[in-house]
A and B are shown apart, each in its own frame.
Chain A
Amino acid sequence: MNIHAKTLKELSKMLINKEIGAVELTRCFIDNIKRQDKELNCYITVCEDEALEKAREAQKLLDAGKNISPLCGIPFAVKDNICTKNIRTTCASKMLENFVPPYSATAVDKLEEKGAILLGKLNMDEFGMGCSTENSYFGPVRNPWNTEYVAGGSSGGSAAAVAANLAVFTLGSDTGGSIRQPAAFCGVVGLKPTYGLVSRYGLVAFASSLDQIGPIARDVTECAMVLNEIAGYDPMDSTSVKKASEDYSENLDQGIDGMKIGMPEEFFGTGLDPEIREAIFKTAEALERNGARIEKVSLPSLRHTVACYYLISSAEASSNLARYDGIRFGYRNPYAKTVDELYKLSRAEGFGREVKKRILLGTYALSSGFHDKLYIKALKVRRMILEDFNNALEKVDCLIAPVYPTAAFRADEDNSDDPLTKYLSDIYTAAVNLAGLPALAVPLGLDKCGLPTGMQIIGKAFSEKILLRAGYAVEQITGRVAGVEKRHAV
């Protein structure tokens, strides 16, 4: 079998047993990137020299043989909105096309401390705004299953890279579904952790109260292993939470006997693709056969999700993106004669269209005269949504739900006359961010077109272990989605 298709555990064993060296393994992945990525466009930056240097360092750790993390020597990549010291971090925007941060995100530091090898930075929708990775200054990401289709977004590059074995695992970010949706589109596993579980320091902010960094991997076990390394309190992030550390990869095979699983009735109506509904229902039945209890629950406030999410996320984004003015970093209009011109032209030229729309929406929602009616109102609806989730999760251990109304859609679908449809499709994922809860996207199989379908498992705050256990059970039922490797195997 192709080395790229081996599991994280297998690769770790091979490295420890000296069946392969860290440098050799890294080189394999870099070669794979060179072979495949022209077509897929997952990577904005590949840091070949740095990666090989880090691989040499990792090899020293492996040779020393003490306390070796299972991630030591394992090649990974991160979404290009996660800062990496001395390596270009662009957020897929012209605004940061040449920005080289002098610091790394805490999550990246943690992984590198354990000896994981950073291969490069992954393509995404600009500043995290989008659901297809077509809003990228560096071109769209193609779905490895069928390159005429999108990889999803905004962590499209992160999900596609895992699906195409261009990295063993990746980090993405999720503000309204940006890890889960591309994971579902690409047939891989993606986790949005509880808000506060993973440090946001170094994650370029889109919506501060919604953003979370999370792992994307080929199966639930690998996802859990990565979560182990990146979770935890960070004194540099005031919103990260202090709690006792857990081993998320422990007892995944415990099974789901007695687990109560809720299915929100609002999510399975006519808006959902019938194939996906069918796949989720079938999975639910199988879970029942394995000892779980499926219950219907209702979350009536969730029909207000899209308006609530877009108002809050755009409001925060309009403030978070105000710092991009070309003065201390980033794109700077060279002809501006006044400070006013400098701001307005640099930002007009540096930001893409979708980003501008969100900033305008957010500015409007916060502006005097509309502040109470829109922004404050949205904060009230947010609490209602959280209360609905809390009520439902008192009766059940977790919820299962779709991730997106459809599977991956065709690239270059022209929606220029309809700015709303894509927004409305966030209905299943964004509510989870509003409530700050964890959610795990797991693949269910392929649809009639040969494209992956997926679903998400949503839990109470800090209940990642339950989600991963349930996800593992789903994996046993549906099988690890193999296939992409076969297609691209050399």
Chain B
Amino acid sequence: MPVDAISLRKIADLAAIYIEEKELEKFAKDMELIIGYMEQISLIDTGDTEPMSHIVPVTNVLRNDEVTNACRRDELLKPAAVTKEGYHAVPNVVDLS
């Protein structure tokens, strides 16, 4: 599938990664080669094989409904670059619902 700058931008938006203009061409070329190769998987005859989404032959791994965590707010806020009075913070979000 040809991957041009426009379709690459769309994927990059979906992935929330900004790609600079000057990089777009090179990225698109690389992605076209990579995707071109990966797409051959759609030609494989998989018959009636079911998709495998879990390899571990286990089910019902469930925990008891217990409160095991104490408040660690200050410790857990530390790794954040920007906080305010115990809250995390981002630039203004429009349409808070």
Physical contact A–B (CB less than 8 Å):
yes
Within 8 A of A (CB), among B34-56: 34-35, 37-42, 44, 46, 49-56
Residues of A169-203 whose CB lies within 8 A of B: 195-196
Asked if residues A377 and B42 are in contact (CB atoms below 8 Å), the reply is yes
Which of the residues B19, B41, B82 comes within 8 Å of A377, measured between beta carbons? B41
Number of residue pairs A-B, CB distance < 8 angstroms: 156
Instruction: Evaluate contact between A363 and B14: CB separation under 8 angstroms.
Output: yes
- Min CB–CB distance B30 → chain A (angstroms): 5
The yes or no answer to B88 lying at the interface (CB within 8 A) is yes
Q: Are the CB atoms of B41 and A383 closer together than 8 Å? A: no
Contact partners of B84 in chain A: CB under 8 A = none
Scan residues 196-243 of chain A and give those whose CB is less than 8 A from a CB of chain B: 196, 209, 235, 238-239, 241-242
A12 to chain B, nearest CB (A): 34
* B6 is an interface residue with CB less than 8 A from chain A: no
Taking a contact as CB atoms under 8 Å apart, the answer to whether B17 and A356 are in contact is: yes
Q: Which residue of A lies closest to B15 (CB)?
A: A363
CA distance A16 to B89 in the complex (A): 53
The number of chain A residues with a CB under 8 A from chain B is 68
- Is the C-beta of A14 less than 8 angstroms from some C-beta in chain B? no
- Interface set of B (CB-CB < 8 Å, partner A): 8, 11-20, 27, 30-31, 33-35, 37-42, 44, 46, 49-56, 58, 61, 63, 72, 75-76, 78-82, 88, 90-93
A308 CA / B20 CA spacing, docked (Å): 30
12 contacts between A and B (CB under 8 A): A102-B72, A209-B55, A318-B15, A347-B16, A348-B17, A357-B30, A363-B14, A380-B51, A419-B30, A420-B37, A423-B37, A436-B56
In the complex, A100→B81 CA distance in Å? 12
**A interface, by DSSP: helix, strand, loop or mixed?**
helix
Q: What 8 A-B pairs come out closest when comparing CB atoms?
A: A379-B51, A329-B79, A344-B18, A383-B52, A436-B55, A343-B16, A380-B46, A332-B81
Closest to A311 in B: B38
The answer for the CA separation of A357 and B12 in the assembled complex, in Å, is: 10
Is the beta-carbon distance between A361 and B90 smaller than 8 angstroms? no
B90 CB to nearest A CB, Å: 5
Residue of B20, B38, B58 touching A307 (CB-CB under 8 A): B38
**How long is the Cα–Cα vector from A345 to B54 in the complex, in angstroms?**
34
Q: How far is the CB of A468 from chain B (nearest CB, A)?
A: 22
Contact indicator B75/A102 (Cβ below 8 Å): yes
Task: Say yes or no: A239-B56 contact (C-beta < 8 A), given A327-B90, A373-B42.
Answer: yes
A364-B15 Cα distance, complex, nearest whole Å? 9
Q: Which residues of A contact B34 (CB under 8 A)?
A: 310, 357, 361, 419-420, 423
A322 lies within 8 A of chain B by Cβ: yes
Contact B58 A241 (CB under 8 A): yes
